[in-house]
A and B are shown apart, each in its own frame.
Chain A
Amino acid sequence: MYVAVKGGEAAIANAHRLLAESRRGDVSVPDLSVAQIREQMALLVDRVMTEGSLHDPDLAALALKQARGDLIEAVFLVRAYRTTLPRFGASEPVETGAMTLRRRISATYKDLPGGQVLGPTFDYTHRLIDFALAAEGEAPVAEEAEPLADAAHAPRVTDLLGHDGLIEPSAPDDGTPPGDLTREPLDFPADRALRLQALARGDEGFVLALGYSTQRGYGRTHPFVGEIRVGTVAVEFVPEELGFPVPLGEVALTECQMVNQFHGSAETPPQFTRGYGLAFGQSERKAMAMALVDRALRAEELGEPVGAPAQDQEFVLAHCDALQATGFVEHLKLPHYVDFQAELELVRRLRAEHAARHAPSETEMKEAAE
């Protein structure tokens, strides 16, 4: 069997060379640069960063190039890369209330301090293919306007509701560091911080479908988009040797505050409850879906009946990671020759036994003849 192994090696090496050539595609078409991917496939780059759980736009763009645009393969590359790096520590929690906004909308209040700012959005476009993009041309120039005086201060919608006690307050920071599923394997039941970490890196399609399922009746949560904000926040880190927060730079984030109904209980007067979503870059669909599923996963905590898939944290958290899912599904295509040989032997033996049981015996044959 050693010969077969050698043959496999050559085939694998050649397959990888063929992959490299195929990745490049038609050489008469200009090569795509990493910067082009970063700038012009920005939302895909954001998704690779979010699901790869690693903020680095250039790296995500490079991973996409290497993966030929295969999102989950790019996530795989990014996740593999991060395992080669030391962990310096954890940042101070980012202050999304102080975000430099690119977009900020609310479906619950028309008039808000700071206003409703659409920013760069696909909303309200006609979704007609723009053939002009297929032709080379001048880059379009955005309109400008004088920012209004209150533009710099945009309090969270949940803060506005919170002043009147109409919405539950967030659980206060008691100083305990949050669990980290990249350090400790996920254990059930997982607290909300761990659930949010898992959902943040979870597959957008899976989380979206689960969020959708709650809207269709599998664990209803009566959601309103309290607010979606997209923009940049400063990240700070306290190095041990310095002992003060060092500004690392800015990252782009999308935050979704979902406002959900709650009927109250003997102890709690009726008030709105919350679902929360946060993702790297402009990842609005992901942040919204995450907020829906976050709220659904709080069913037990809020005394709601638990039964729908989106409310089952073991089901949701154990299956939301695209890399884990693809690893287990795709491993099926790897050689299982020995396993299958064993199964084959077993089926053959069972068939033989079955045949022996059901074959007419000699006495039966004689009786039938008479």
Chain B
Amino acid sequence: MPDHTPSPAETPDLAARRAVMALCGAARAEELRDALAEVGTPGEPEDLRPPETGLVMTRGRIGGDGRPFNLGEATVTRAAVRLASGETGFAYHLGRDRAKARLAATLDALWQRPELRAPVEAALAPVAARRTAEREAEARRIAATRVNFFTMARGED
């Protein structure tokens, strides 16, 4: 693997990077293609690791909060790219979409260039907006099925 991959301690804002990674995972391949077109790629990134589909064993916890156990595997596709300027980007997503993983890895690499961080986040804003709208609509549908208990008055009084 590349020797200049930043360790967590060196990463300036891990939470922000993870948020971008999560957005890329939730995005459709077309959305990532649009985002990348908007940011623009300085040259075709080099494949550090060609997109590859494999398995991650999903773990749960006994009782929800106890010792871990293996629930079952999930297909996961990963990709790693290096920009001409040296940044390396990674993607790990549920599913088998290799093209999407490579697009996400490219966006992850671009995001690591300080001057591109804001443009990458802005280009992914439509994905975030779509996700928020979907979540809110779902929450409203689910809220309509919440039970309101009431007690019937019974007996003499």
Contacts and interface: CB of A to CB of B under 8 A. Distances in A.
A130 to B, nearest CB: 19
Contact of A101 (B22, B64, B80, B142): B142
Contact of B64 (A156, A243, A244, A279): A156
A249 to B, nearest CB: 4
Residues of B contacting A: mostly? mixed
Interface residues of A, number: 87
Residue in B68, B138, B144 with the greatest tally of chain A CB atoms within 10 Å: B68
B140 A88 contact: no
A56 B65 contact: no
B41 interface: no
A158 B63 contact: yes
Contacts of A300: none
Interface residues of B, number: 57
B54 interface: yes
B130 interface: no
A88 B18 contact: no
B90 A118 contact: no
Interface stretch (A165-173, A217-225, A315-323, A344-352): A165-173
Given A148-B146, A151-B143, A249-B94, A239 B25 contact: no
Residue in A52, A169, A173 with the greatest tally of chain B CB atoms within 10 Å: A173
Contacts of B18: 244-247
Contacts of A192: 62, 67, 69
B74 A54 contact: yes
Contact of A170 (B14, B26, B57, B61): B61
A86 interface: yes
A212 interface: no
A171 B67 contact: yes
Nearest to A237: B56
A143 B57 contact: no
26 contacts: A56-B75, A56-B96, A85-B55, A93-B61, A96-B64, A111-B149, A115-B147, A116-B146, A117-B143, A118-B147, A142-B141, A144-B137, A145-B140, A156-B64, A172-B67, A173-B66, A181-B70, A192-B62, A193-B62, A197-B70, A247-B18, A249-B94, A250-B94, A251-B94, A274-B63, A280-B72
Interface of A: 49-50, 52-56, 58-59, 82, 85-94, 96-97, 100-103, 110-111, 115-120, 142-148, 151, 156, 158-159, 169-174, 177-182, 192-194, 196-197, 200-201, 234-235, 237, 239, 241-251, 253, 255, 257, 274, 276, 278-280
